[in-house]
Amino acid sequence: MSEVIHGACLCGKVTFDVNEPEAMGGCHCTRCTRWSGTGGATVVVVAAKNFRVNKGQELMKIYREDGFAPRGFCSNCGSSIYTDGGDKYYVAAGVLRDVKLKTAFHIQVAYKAPWDEIGGSAPQFPEYPPA
């Protein structure tokens, strides 16, 4: 049986499932820092086809900015839900329940806020991991 992680926004009006999560990691780019209001975003990586909204689709809104990935959020409470990377979604770990994954990577470390201190032993990449 494949792993499923259930999630919900702050108000609970949008619920969703992440099926077969691939990894969890931190992005420290300026966009994720501003999106999360913290030192970047901890996200669970999932194939786009494995992300499903169960309730509240009508409340989901997309923030778009030229040159950057679209970001989905709840229009009622403002919770950040995911970043749309095309074939992959990067789902905010904080809106998921019972995540058992460990942080596997940190990306965009060259752009992190000066007060953002990264702990743990996961590999850190100035931008993206080598291909």
Measured CA distances, 68 to 9, 15, 112 (Å): 23, 25, 17
Tell which wins on pLDDT, 131 or 109.
109
Residue ranges per structural domain of the chain = 4-111
CA distance 129 to 81: 24
Q: How many CA within 13 A on the CB side of residue 104? A: 11
Residues 6+ apart with CB under 8 A from 65: none
CA distance 108 to 13: 32
* Predicted pLDDT at 1: 53
Measured CA distances, 127 to 15, 97, 99, 107 (Å): 32, 29, 25, 5
- The model's pLDDT over 48-103, given as tens digits with 9 standing for 90+, comes to 999 999 999 999 999 999 999 999 999 999 999 999 999 999 999 999 999 999 99
* Predicted pLDDT at 25: 97
DSSP 109: G
pLDDT over 90, % of the chain: 96
* Predicted pLDDT at 131: 74
* Predicted pLDDT at 46: 98
What's the CATH fold of domain 4-111?
Answer: 2.170.150
- The model's pLDDT over 103-126, given as tens digits with 9 standing for 90+, comes to 999 999 999 999 999 999 999 999
* Predicted pLDDT at 54: 98
- The model's pLDDT over 10-43, given as tens digits with 9 standing for 90+, comes to 999 999 999 999 999 999 999 999 999 999 999 9
